[in-house]
């Protein structure tokens, strides 16, 4: 499995930093999902409708943190999707939309390899 993952990553992405784009895309989609869900239930905003993505770099720890205040993943989502190749939670979300919601959506995570 480790070799398969290595092969897929290096075959699909020639630039090793592309994972940043993938994670930022995930954050953007999480915000869009919240925006769509809040059309039916504005309490989802929890009194903060200002959606944002934050990037933090800690040189000493050697980490980059990408955080958003979008819809997020619950425990079941994490179990079902984390480390699963070619399964898109965004594609699943799009299946639930209909009419103008689906037409107006611009969720980009449906095209990725999956996180």
Percent of the chain with pLDDT over 70: 58
Per-residue confidence (pLDDT) for residue 57, from 0 to 100:
95
**Number of helical (H) and strand (E) elements in the chain, helices listed first:** 5, 2
Helix residue ranges per DSSP H, 43-98 = 75-81, 89-96
State the CATH architecture for 2-111: 2-Layer Sandwich (3.30)
Note the pLDDT of residue 72.
Answer: 80
Kindly state the average pLDDT of the residues 81-108.
Answer: 61
Cα separation, 15 vs 42, in Å, equals 40
Domain layout of the chain by residue ranges: 2-111
């Amino acid at each position: 499995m480790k070799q398969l993952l290595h092969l897929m990553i290096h075959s699909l992405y020639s630039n090793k930093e592309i994972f940043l784009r993938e994670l930022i895309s995930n954050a953007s989609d999480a915000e869009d999902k919240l925006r769509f869900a809040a059309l039916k239930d504005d309490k989802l905003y929890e009194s903060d409708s200002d959606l944002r993505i934050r990037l933090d770099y800690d040189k000493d720890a050697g980490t980059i943190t990408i955080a958003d205040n979008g819809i997020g993943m619950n425990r079941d989502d994490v179990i079902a999707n984390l480390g699963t190749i070619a399964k898109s939670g965004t594609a699943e979300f799009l299946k639930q939309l209909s009419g103008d919601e689906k037409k107006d959506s611009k969720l980009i995570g449906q095209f990725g390899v999956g996180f």
